[in-house]
A and B are shown apart, each in its own frame.
Chain A
């Protein structure tokens, strides 16, 4: 079986800005690839190239077995795209939006209508089917946009930050929908800024930064890379920081980081809650006054810090050290 998506050495420049610097991707048939990266990493550019909206400066790509550059029209017939901004017409009703997309896929009037009704039912939008989309909530618009991408039952689905900007409830609804889709055998390329989302949905993950892949593997492998959970302690008195480090270093799976400025000690741990209890016990025995202590799951920021040494904040100067480590 061929791969659903193969991209090799994709390069795209906008003037002096390099959006993609030789990106390689592979989505095996029937799996979900999570493309994880901060704003400006090149995620959307990659999706736009693979969905034929943009031509790369160099490199090659195949989607559903078709060459993206040689036969874009054929690619478009086999893919679905749901973007970061719900690409639905807000003056049309939900039904009219999907019906229009069906007709533009040349399904014919009757099949377009049936398909629109099916999808509205499946995405829990039948109650709002005949209301203009401008009355929809953000979550409903996103579901409608995803439904639009599924009208022609595409073999490969591209989801560009499908939950960015959604409230937690809508996000988990969206995750459930995507999980069900994948169970049906659709191959998916998903971009996201959220580690948790990639963790929940993707079979494998690539982390990209400045237009190239900087790490790949399963969610567990990536977390392993940065040491899983970490305990963060903020001491009341900066003078106690080194003492606290000395007390707790034995609990850490890797070298703890110390930020003098915020009086924060951060240590990667294996057994989160047990280590937390032990850490409190040791600090209390001295005693060292603590103004905050918490157990944190790794975030994309942590992955980034670990992999690149710079923060995910696109406005942050890459040349500056993130903190005293």
Chain B
């Protein structure tokens, strides 16, 4: 009963966030334009310089850009919550007889919707530069689903950050500082073997590497006959990604919900 109401309230709040995307389309334009730019720039600028054994770079690149982009998409939750606190709307929500988690559920769910749109745009760009899903429809969908699930879990981390941050700008800057290394020290843009030793060790256990590896597997973008990657995480990328998603949710859903209860406007 309570869970159903929390979900109902979450959907009401998600609808509000999506109306905002419709009214301020610039937001979506820039969140989609950036990955499109990345696909094209990386494909044609670095494409010639980065060699991927047995495959071509564009095929290799797309899953990495997907992973990076859906993670950056989660900053909308953090910045949005910081903005709601600054504007006092959180006070209105908190004075209503609704579930404490509902605003956060609404926020994180609307991130999924945003990410879906972004993934569609990126996939079309990918197709234009020669990327293909070489497995089947189900595997392809599973790849997209895994990216969205991982990003959803990460949205809760951002929700927690957004509730602690004094302003949306701080969330954006903090996210940039954390997400850039997290998505670059990985197999997203270059093969792991190209990284120097210590970074390689980090990248091998970086969940972003796992979600990227899993997406490449599910899309059929790995070079045929390529040797199995080293390390348990990348040998079981789907399981490792799901474990991370679960771990983040277990930790950050209660943390963020508790912080929401304490949030003070201004």
Contacts and interface: CB of A to CB of B under 8 A. Distances in A.
Asked if A pairs with B, the answer is yes
Interface of A: 51-54, 73-74, 76-77, 79-81, 83-92, 96, 100-101, 103-106, 132, 145, 148
Contacts of A73: 97
A105 B5 CA distance: 11
Interface stretch (B18-26, B222-230, B234-242): B18-26
B87 A85 contact: yes
A79 B88 CA distance: 18
Contact of A91 (B5, B12, B20): B20
A77 B93 CA distance: 12
A92 B20 contact: yes
A236 to B, nearest CB: 47
Contacts of A92: 16, 19-20, 23
A206 B205 CA distance: 62
B95 A81 contact: yes
9 contacts: A53-B91, A53-B95, A87-B89, A91-B19, A92-B16, A100-B13, A104-B13, A106-B8, A148-B92
Contacts of A51: 95
Nearest to A74: B97
A105 B91 contact: no
A87 to B, nearest CB: 4
Contacts of A132: 23
Contact of A81 (B89, B92, B102, B266): B92
B20 A87 contact: no
A105 B264 contact: no
A104 B88 contact: no
B142 interface: no
B265 to A, nearest CB: 7
Given A89-B20, A91-B23, A104 B89 contact: no
B177 interface: no
A89 B21 CA distance: 13
B178 interface: no
B128 interface: no
A73 B5 CA distance: 13
Interface in B35-88: 87-88
Nearest to B21: A91
B98 interface: yes
A87 B23 contact: no
Contacts of A104: 9, 12-13, 93, 96, 98, 102
Contacts of B132: none
Contact of A89 (B16, B95, B102, B264): B16
Given A83-B88, A104-B9, 11 more contacts: A54-B264, A76-B96, A83-B265, A87-B92, A91-B24, A92-B20, A101-B96, A103-B12, A104-B96, A105-B96, A106-B8
Interface in B218-266: 264-266
Contacts of A148: 92
B12 A87 contact: no
A101 B92 contact: yes
Nearest to A54: B264
A86 B23 contact: no
Contacts of B12: 100, 103-104
Kindly list the 9 A-B residue pairs having the minimum CB-CB distance in the complex, ordered from nearest.
A87-B92, A85-B88, A77-B97, A76-B97, A81-B95, A91-B20, A87-B88, A91-B23, A103-B12
Contact of A100 (B16, B23, B24, B97): B16
Nearest to A154: B95
Contacts of B94: 52-53
Nearest to B11: A103
A58 B158 CA distance: 33
Nearest to B12: A103
A145 B91 CA distance: 12
Contacts of A87: 87-89, 91-92
A148 B93 CA distance: 11
Find the residue from A54, A96, A103, A148 having the highest chain B CB count within 10 A: A103
